[in-house]
Structure 1
């Protein structure tokens, strides 16, 4: 199944991530889905959009803004699919849970907070 996000939702996603970066805080998938008012299948749409953004950031050799989106569970880490994606992109190598994932994610979030992304990208 191919999932697409509208241009309006894409711009809103970038804006939410920019705000999160500026305020130095993380967003949960649920909060982002609600803020963006994504239509069903909302989680699949959001996941596909975040993977696409990770690919764009990786190609541009930038920190991955999609790292700012986490599960609301106890781990406070992104979902397993995020780690699968960043592994495919050559950014992370390891299990999607545990100390290695948490350490890599914390470092990536710090990199995102410090990076100056181009306007409107």
Structure 2
């Protein structure tokens, strides 16, 4: 099944991630789905959009903005799909859980907070 996001939702997603970066905070998948009012299948749509953004960031040799999106659970890490995507993009070389994942994620978030992203994508 192919999942697509509308231009309006894409622009809103980039805006939300830009706000999170400027305010130096993380946002949960649930909060993004609610703020963007994504239609069903909302989680699949958001995941596909975040993976697409990660691919664009990787291609542009930029830190992965999708690292700013985390689960609301105790781990405060992205879902395993984020780490799988980062591995496919050649950015993350380890298992999607544990100390190595948490450490790499923290470093990537710090890189995102410090990076000056271009306005348009």
Q: TM-score, normalised by structure 2?
A: 0.99
Within 5 Å, give how 1:11-26 maps onto structure 2.
Answer: 11-26=11-26
The correspondence of residues 1-121 of structure 1 with structure 2, limited to 5 A, is: 1-121=1-121
CA distance in 2, matches of 1:108, 1:53: 15
Which segments of 5 or more consecutive residues in structure 1 lack a partner in the other structure?
none
Looking at structure 2, the residues matched to 55 and 34 of structure 1 have their Cα atoms a distance apart, in angstroms, of: 24
Q: CA deviation at 1:50?
A: 0.1
Q: Residue 34 of structure 1: SS of its match in structure 2? A: helix
RMSD over aligned Cα, in angstroms?
A: 0.5
Q: Which runs of 5+ in 2 are unaligned?
A: none
**What TM-score does the superposition give when structure 1 sets the normalisation length?**
0.99
Matches of 1:119 and 1:96 in 2, distance apart?
30
Deviation at 1:62, TM superposition (A): 0.2
- What is the CA-CA distance between 1:119 and the residue it aligns to? 1.3
Cα distance in 2 between the residues matched to 1:103 and 1:53: 22
For 1:87 and 1:63, the matched residues in 2 are separated by 14
Structure 1 residue 120: Cα displacement = 2.7
Partners in 1 of 2:71 and 2:84 — Cα distance?
15
Number of residue pairs the alignment of both structures matches: 121
